Amino acid sequence: MTEQTKLHDLRPPAGSHKRPRRVARGIAGRGGKTAGRGMKGQKARSKVPVGFEGGQMPLLRRVPKWRGFTNPFRVEYQPVNLDTIEESGLDEISPDILRERGLVGKKALVKVLGRGELSRAVQVKAHAVSASAAAAIAEAGGSVEIVAKPWGDRRPPHGSFNQHTNR
């Protein structure tokens, strides 16, 4: 009969668990006395924040690309591909019809993309259409109409029609 391993007998494999180095335990050990912090000075003390540069503007705040940047005026479209239009069975596509069918969100701007194929003529109204999608729609005998954006020719209002705002 084989011996079963009990929970209290479990041990990690030999050499896989290394004990952490215990510093600041007196001058006898390797990490004794100053514990690898050098002699005096601010960095030898506790509670100095990581990245603190003595009152100077820290590098992480000086360089915005490292924190990232979100363009508040970015226009984000919700994609609708040709294969989705083909499956819907509709002869006329517009943002309102796509909203009713639940294919796009409530405030979404629609962009038709060229994945898939069309086998019939379809009248498409959208906020934007890719070149490949426009060519495929025209080849199938359909037509494309670009719908004006809700804010007109000016740039979009701050934060609206953008799903990735930081605010």
Give the residue extent of every domain in the chain: 77-146
φ/ψ of 125, rounded to 5, equals: -120, 120
Cβ atoms 121, 93 nearer than 8 A: no
Over residues 16-51, the pLDDT tens digits come to 998 888 888 888 878 888 888 889 888 888 888 888
Over residues 71-122, the pLDDT tens digits come to 888 888 999 999 999 888 888 999 999 999 888 888 889 999 999 888 889 9
Name the band, by pLDDT with cuts 50, 70 and 90, for residue 165.
very low
Residues sharing a CB contact under 8 Å with residue 75, sequence separation 6 or more, in sequence order: 109, 149, 156, 161, 162
Query: What pLDDT does 45 receive?
Result: 83
Cβ atoms < 10 Å from Cβ of 114: 18
Helices (H), ranges, the chain:
59-62, 64-67, 82-88, 95-101, 131-139
Query: Shortest CA distance to 147 belongs to which of 125, 130, 129?
Result: 125
pTM: 0.55
Q: Does domain 77-146 have CATH number 3.40.50.720?
A: no
Stronger pLDDT, 94 or 3, i.e. the higher one: 94
φ/ψ of 23, rounded to 5, equals: -100, 165
Per DSSP, the three-state class of 126 is: strand
